């Protein structure tokens, strides 16, 4: 029996482009989506969210905004989720209510717009009166549990590791010097900024890299930087600093998820669909904390889904399934790898996930609680 799902889509945030229906990529529902987004006055939006645009509509490109490509990707994401969870499993019916949804986004227009695009094609009937979007000020969605000194400590150590690796790479340093001359900034500024994100914006949109009077950034620059990113990912897994950061950064969000799943399993009325519209810096530590080491750094419009299932023959038994970009990664998690070796069941018992979040996440810190782990210095 199908129960509930939580979805973490990564917002496709780059430079802003006015949407044109004739431009590729497009979607059969793109025109209807644009018209519907202009009628959103009935929606309930927390705080500053109400002042954000519902879809990309500026005529000039702006940094950090959603593009038409991003809108289309999330329209497709919503369509894929609808086919499985609405059409097949009947998670929501045509007369669904606002209480059946929990929606949360950061205060960036790109995450709000990504959430709305996904919901537009996912919901049986997109009704603004039933949309209640909550504002999350933290990119790691830590809500009221953000005070964690050791999380900040491990993040600073990880950032130092990243910078040290960049400085040691002579090929990368030559590329940085060349690119800094082209764009007219100090090399140290470019090195500190790690420009892979900016270059991916151009690459993924099939747009030429920028040129100035002193030259052009080209594919040779991109290849060296991308090669270094892969090397950085390998070292990141070996050094474990990011993993320690990820455990503390993601515990509040995973704890919220576990608590919600437990309440549903106990028969208490809860939302049946939860959506967090987030960032790569949200999704990446979640993947790391779960132990999904084979997952690469989140691509644009990536999604992570937690499903809760009930055993039809044994109603008290509940299981979870975790999907990353549509692929089942449940048994790649640290808490369910061993269970997979011993059981023929295709899902992971809910209690395995509960034990991981409530206890096992703190073992590496020699702690028994989130509060203690956040304050215990390593020996």
pLDDT in tens, 45-69: 998 999 999 998 877 667 778 988 9
Domain boundary among 239, 260, 291: 239
Report the CATH number that the domain containing residue 58 is assigned in CATH: 3.40.50.1240
Does one domain contain both 228 and 332? no
101, part of any domain: yes
pLDDT of residue 272: 94
Within 108-184, residue ranges assigned H as helices are: 109-122, 149-168, 170-183
Write down the pLDDT at residue 10. Answer: 53
Residues 135 and 265 both lie in one domain: yes
Query: How far is the CA of 303 from the CAs of 206, 223, 253, 282, in angstroms?
Result: 22, 26, 15, 11
Specify the pLDDT at position 343: 72
Domain match, 219 and 319 both = no
pLDDT of 5 reads 59
Domain boundaries, position 300 = 49-144+249-365
Q: How many domains does the chain contain in total?
A: 2
CB atoms within 10 A of CB 315: 11
Identify the pLDDT of residue 63.
Answer: 72
Per DSSP bridges, beta strands 44-45 and 132-136 are parallel
Distance CA 323, CA 74 (A): 16
Tell whether 264 and 339 lie within a shared domain.
Answer: yes
Q: In this predicted structure, what is the pLDDT of residue 312?
A: 84
Residues 210 and 356 in one domain: no
Residues with Cβ < 8 Å from 120, sequence gap 6 or more?
29, 33, 36, 37, 75, 78, 126
**Does some domain include residue 10?**
no
Low-confidence ranges of the chain (pLDDT < 70): 1-23, 60-61, 379
Which of these three, 239, 268, 292, is where a domain ends?
239
Residues 193 and 335 in one domain: no
Predicted pLDDT of residue 17:
40
Task: Note the pLDDT of residue 15.
Answer: 36
Does residue 273 sit within a domain?
yes
Q: Same domain for 221 and 82?
A: no
Indicate whether 223 and 344 sit together in one domain.
Answer: no
Q: Is residue 257 part of a domain?
A: yes
Contact 338, 346 (CB under 8 A): no
Nearest Cα to 82, choosing from 210, 273, 277?
Answer: 273
Residue 370 located in a structural domain: no
Beta strands, E only, the chain: 2-9, 13-14, 44-45, 65-66, 101-106, 132-136, 211-212, 215-216, 273-277, 303-310, 318-324, 327-328, 348-349
Task: Answer yes or no: do 115 and 137 share one domain.
Answer: yes
In a domain, 22, yes or no: no
Q: Are residues 233 and 254 in the same domain?
A: no
Domain identity same for 265 and 323:
yes
Q: What is the model's pLDDT at position 360?
A: 97
Q: Record the tokens describing residue 262, joined without a space.
A: 């437990």
Asked whether residue 335 is domain-assigned, the answer is: yes
- 270 and 138, same structural domain? yes
Q: What is the pTM of this model?
A: 0.91
Confirm if 148 and 248 have CB atoms less than 8 A apart. yes
Residue that finishes a domain, picked among 195, 213, 239: 239
Query: For 159-208, how does the pLDDT look when each residue is reduced to its tens digit (9 = 90+)?
Result: 999 999 999 999 999 999 999 999 999 998 988 887 888 888 888 888 89
């Amino acid at each position: 029996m199908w129960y509930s799902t939580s979805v973490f889509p990564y917002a496709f945030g780059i430079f802003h482009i006015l949407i044109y229906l004739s431009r590729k990529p497009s979607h059969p529902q793109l025109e209807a989506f644009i018209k519907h987004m202009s009628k959103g006055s009935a929606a309930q939006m927390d705080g500053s969210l109400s002042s954000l645009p519902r879809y990309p509509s500026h005529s000039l490109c702006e940094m950090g905004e959603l593009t038409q490509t991003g809108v289309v990707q999330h329209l497709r994401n919503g369509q894929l989720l609808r086919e499985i969870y609405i059409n097949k499993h009947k998670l929501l019916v045509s007369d669904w209510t606002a209480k059946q949804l929990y929606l949360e986004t950061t205060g960036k227009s790109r995450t709000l717009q990504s959430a709305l695009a996904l919901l537009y094609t996912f919901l049986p009937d997109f009704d603004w009166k039933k949309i209640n979007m909550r504002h999350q000020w933290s990119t790691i969605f830590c809500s009221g549990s953000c005070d964690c000194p050791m999380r900040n400590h491990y993040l600073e150590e990880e950032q130092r590791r990243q910078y040290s690796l960049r400085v040691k790479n002579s090929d990368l340093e030559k590329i940085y010097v060349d690119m800094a001359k082209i764009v007219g900034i100090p090399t140290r500024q470019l090195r500190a900024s790690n420009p892979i994100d900016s270059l991916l914006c151009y690459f993924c949109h099939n747009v030429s890299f920028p040129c100035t009077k002193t030259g052009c950034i080209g594919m040779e620059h991109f290849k060296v930087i991308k090669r270094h990113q892969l090397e950085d990912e390998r070292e990141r897994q070996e050094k474990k600093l990011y993993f320690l950061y990820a455990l503390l950064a993601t515990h509040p969000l995973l704890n919220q998820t576990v608590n919600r799943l437990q309440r549903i399993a106990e028969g208490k009325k809860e939302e049946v669909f939860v959506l967090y519209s987030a960032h790569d810096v949200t999704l990446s530590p979640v993947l790391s904390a779960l132990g999904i080491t084979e997952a690469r750094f989140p691509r644009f419009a990536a999604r992570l889904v937690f499903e809760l299932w009930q055993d039809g023959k044994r109603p008290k038994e509940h299981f979870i399934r975790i999907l990353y970009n549509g692929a089942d990664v449940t048994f790649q998690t640290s808490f369910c790898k061993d269970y997979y070796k011993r059981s023929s069941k295709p899902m992971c018992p809910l209690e395995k996930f509960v034990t991981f979040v409530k206890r096992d996440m703190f073992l590496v810190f020699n702690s028994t609680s989130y509060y203690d782990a956040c304050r215990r210095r390593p020996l």
